[in-house]
Amino acid sequence: MELVLDLVARDFVRGNYSSELRSDTVADQIGSEREKTRREDQLRAESDVKRRSAQIWIRCEEKISSELDKLRRAKSDLRSTEAKQRNQI
């Protein structure tokens, strides 16, 4: 058993296994980079969705605020008109 291990170690040192190990390492690195890129793309997409949702929400709040302001002005104008009419009587 020790002889086999010694032979394997000797071949490894001489470079007989280095190309196999390098190809496995390169394949692992490529797989790792693909996974990293996939995760980055997913996070970027999630971030874009959150940003768009926030922009839509802000636009909705602005529209609601604008409509409320119109209603308040109309109510205020109505009260003014009613007060003027009461003062004329």
Beta strands (DSSP E) in 1-89 are: none
The DSSP 8-state label assigned to residue 62 in this structure reads H
Please report the sign of the dihedral spanned by the C-alpha atoms of residue 27, residue 32, residue 35, residue 36.
Answer: negative
Using 50, 70 and 90 to split pLDDT, how confident is the model at 17?
low
Span 5-25, average pLDDT: 58
Span 38-53, average pLDDT: 96
Residues 6 or more apart whose Cβ sits within 8 Å of residue 18: 12
> Could you tell me what percent of the chain has a pLDDT over 70?
72
pLDDT computed for residue 26 by the predictor? 74
Neighbours of 65 (CB within 10 A): 10
pTM for this entry: 0.50
The DSSP 8-state label assigned to residue 15 in this structure reads T
Domain boundaries, the chain: 2-88
The pLDDT of residue 39 is above 80: yes
